[in-house]
A and B are shown apart, each in its own frame.
Chain A
């Protein structure tokens, strides 16, 4: 490198885009920047090297040298800087087309990014096709400890009181536990979700599907039922070796993406159990499970948050990436912020700050910029109560922190659940059952 100043990861992509724009459409109107597992970048051109004219070859040689040098540690050698699509088999071509995303367009030059990642690709992929129509809800928190699981349990209980059947999947596989709130150990079915993934891997998921759903005793006296698909079952065996195999992207039948496997599991149990609504408890944070459940499962997603700088910073990482999501318009209206554990004192002030921080983030990354007369735009005022940034509220109460319905004789305390959760549950029901508001 000429200047001797190292190029770091973030800068490398900007450099590659600028250099590619500078040569314009000499190499065709569609170029793909391939960023490899280490972040190194090179160019993938349509056609083959033999198709190049003399001029193009000359331009290519100069370009390769320049890109290679300017990217520093994130460059390949000049001879390795350009790949040709023709050198790839057709199957590869179609997967490249499916996974690349448009990052820059200038005139008739389109620059795409093919981001090769070890994990996390699902955050940027489109919805998975599905064959069922059950309403689905994902409970997600960018950080743990904001009352996500408690809210889920109490809402499920309230829905069961209103004759709704809830099918709940405990997909927090790395810290399984919500299912134990709903299902004391003696109620667990024989098997759980980790068992299904390993058995499905060798083509026998069907063998355990009859024994991986149990009815929560919490709904025993209620007109509706809460059915639980726990992470593990009575026959827990060795949890860790099974967990370690859950995320495999293939089975003995061939390659199948992890998200597609989740969809298969959920659809099979939806068809068998016929619930009114499906709940997913998602792993917190930027985990692959969350990536699938939040953006790919056709679910309404509740984003739990506390008003803290760390929370907004972490959500912003995600939202910033989503701004470039090719299907953002399809799922941004399925997101809803939830203020979990709103403190007892200074509530109004706390919520005001929360709302402003939430609005700032949605405005910056997900809302459309609007002209005054643009009625179609996806954009909301700070105080618009139906806006995704306007929090559904759950109020902190000591009893909620110690809440364990499985050991309580009387089930849930109606009053406490009403005082703390009504705002959340009313809002959530308007979103999830829009045709039955008032429930």
Chain B
């Protein structure tokens, strides 16, 4: 299936918000992480990150958000890229404690405060994505 990071980011974000508002925290958390990953990959692709098939060509970027966040910060340190760092606010990775394998875990292991932190992080990546859309960097 051809990748569409922008569309994927938008649907993961919307579904995560839906679940979060209904206090279904475990799955909301999973989707906030995926939304953030897809949003950053959409911007990186727009800024020139090469794809090989359905994944980034460079192994450094074949990562989930707990790793990808810091990679994005160095990737975007160019004249046209730096503007997408603004909405990320703090450069400390808010997804440090997020793990894609959380999907196998027990739902009780997702406290409200942790998920709310991931939500703020994901929102920052969505704002970066939307700025890139207005800029024509992501189409």
Contact = CB atoms under 8 A, between A and B. Distances in A.
Specify the main secondary structure of chain A where it touches its partner.
loop
B87 interface: yes
Interface in B81-139: 82-83, 85-87, 89-91, 123, 126-127, 130-131, 133-137, 139
B130 A250 contact: no
Contacts of B82: 248-249
B126 A249 contact: no
Contact of B133 (A83, A248, A250, A254): A83
B134 A118 contact: no
Contacts of A38: 136
| Chain A interface size, under 10 / 10 to 19 / 20 to 34 / 35 or more | 20 to 34
Contacts of A249: 82-83, 86
Interface in A30-64: 34, 36-38, 40
A36 B134 contact: yes
Name B's interface SS.
Answer: helix
A215 to B, nearest CB: 37
B86 A36 contact: no
B130 A92 contact: yes
Given A36-B134, A80-B139, A255 B126 contact: no
Nearest to B91: A252
A91 interface: yes
Contacts of A116: 134-136
Contact of A37 (B85, B90, B126, B136): B136
A114 interface: yes
A114 B134 contact: yes
B80 A37 contact: yes
A89 interface: yes
Contacts of B131: 92
B79 A118 contact: yes
A320 B91 CA distance: 40
A250 B81 CA distance: 13
Contacts of A36: 134-137
Nearest to A256: B86
Contacts of B137: 36-37
A422 to B, nearest CB: 45
A89 B89 contact: no
A76 interface: yes
Contact of A40 (B87, B90, B127, B136): B136
Contacts of A88: 130
Given A91-B127, A92-B127, A118-B80, A255 B136 contact: no
A118 B82 CA distance: 10
Contact of A89 (B83, B85, B130, B134): B130
Interface of A: 34, 36-38, 40, 76, 80, 83, 87-89, 91-92, 96, 114, 116, 118, 248-250, 252-255
Interface of B: 10, 79-80, 82-83, 85-87, 89-91, 123, 126-127, 130-131, 133-137, 139
Q: Across chains A and B, which 8 residue pairs bring their CB atoms closest together, nearest first?
A: A36-B136, A255-B86, A254-B89, A37-B135, A250-B86, A116-B135, A92-B130, A36-B135
16 contacts: A34-B134, A76-B139, A80-B139, A88-B130, A89-B123, A89-B130, A91-B123, A116-B134, A249-B82, A249-B86, A250-B85, A252-B91, A254-B90, A255-B86, A255-B87, A255-B89
Given A89-B126, A253-B90, 14 more contacts: A36-B136, A37-B135, A40-B136, A89-B127, A91-B127, A92-B131, A114-B134, A116-B134, A118-B80, A249-B83, A250-B85, A254-B90, A255-B86, A255-B87
